[in-house]
Amino acid sequence: MFRCLLAIGFVSMLVASLAACNSLGSTPTSHVHADFASEIVPYFTERVKVVQFTDMSTGPVMEWEWDLDGDGRVDSTKQHPRKQYSKNGLYTVTLTVRGPLPEDVDTITKDDCIEIVGCPT
């Protein structure tokens, strides 16, 4: 008689898989902080108002994304953009800044921070 004994070793592939995901428990901290200032600047015609935005973000900022009219679409990627407004109203402005690392991202939204009055429309 011949008996063949089969030994089965327990190998869990899950251990290796979970080890790769162990960073999910902690949220990396952004090294950049978004902030900005704005002011209406004189312009040669009263038909439009021009607003100068000044980036006041801190940290190693490399990219700027500005939504200057609150429609959710990026209007400028300059550090200090300038925008013409031709319609009266209140405008919400959002600035998102990014640094060199994936976690280096911060967004600031200022609701109704631009008030345009005096335009013909």
The residues that touch Ca ion, with contacts defined as CB under 5 A, are 67, 69, 71, 73, 75
User: 45: which residues sit within 8 A by CB, 6+ positions away?
Assistant: none
CA distance 2 to 111: 83
Closest approach, Cβ 66 to Ca ion, in A, equals 8
Nearer to Ca ion among residue 39 and residue 71 (C-beta): 71
Cβ(103)–Cβ(28) below 8 Å: yes
Per the structure block, which two tokens stand in for 120? 């013909």
Closest approach, Cβ 69 to Ca ion, in A, equals 5
Nearer to Ca ion among residue 63 and residue 75 (C-beta): 75
Closest approach, Cβ 94 to Ca ion, in A, equals 8
Cβ(50)–Cβ(43) below 8 Å: yes
Nearer to Ca ion among residue 31 and residue 116 (C-beta): 116
